[in-house]
Amino acid sequence: MTSDEIPTQEWVTRGPWQQFVKVTNAICQDGRRRTAHSASVDGVADTFFSIPAFVYVGSKRVYGYVTSGDDGYEFRAYLYRKNHALIRPTPLAAHR
């Protein structure tokens, strides 16, 4: 993993809490690295393990969530949302 591939995260502090803004180099299900932006209004996780987010594929937004995995942060698309088919899992990425 090169320094350009290391996932980084940005947080904003509002009041006593830190809130998620974006994760650069999040691994998507198709094996590509993209920047995941917070999709929630307040930037707070909806569960202990995931944060609602979206990535751009071309000029289209794909909604899903960011979670942590073996190789850093991962973005997983919601299968019931519009444009989810733009991120197609590769056989290699599916077997990680």
pLDDT of 18 strictly over 90: no
Higher pLDDT, 40 or 63: 63
The band of 95, judged by pLDDT with boundaries at 50, 70 and 90, is very low
Does 32 fall in a domain? yes
Number of domains in the chain: 1
Does 2 fall in a domain? no
Residue 23 domain boundaries: 8-94
Does 39 fall in a domain? yes
Mean pLDDT throughout 34-53?
Answer: 73
**pLDDT for residue 59:** 93
Q: How many Cβ atoms sit within 10 Å of the Cβ of residue 66?
A: 27
Mean pLDDT throughout 28-55?
Answer: 78
Q: Which of 6-15, 29-38, 44-53, 57-66 has the lowest mean pLDDT?
A: 6-15
Does 48 fall in a domain? yes
Does 53 fall in a domain? yes
Mean pLDDT throughout 21-37?
Answer: 87
Does 44 fall in a domain? yes
DSSP-based three-state secondary structure for 14 = strand
Does 21 fall in a domain? yes
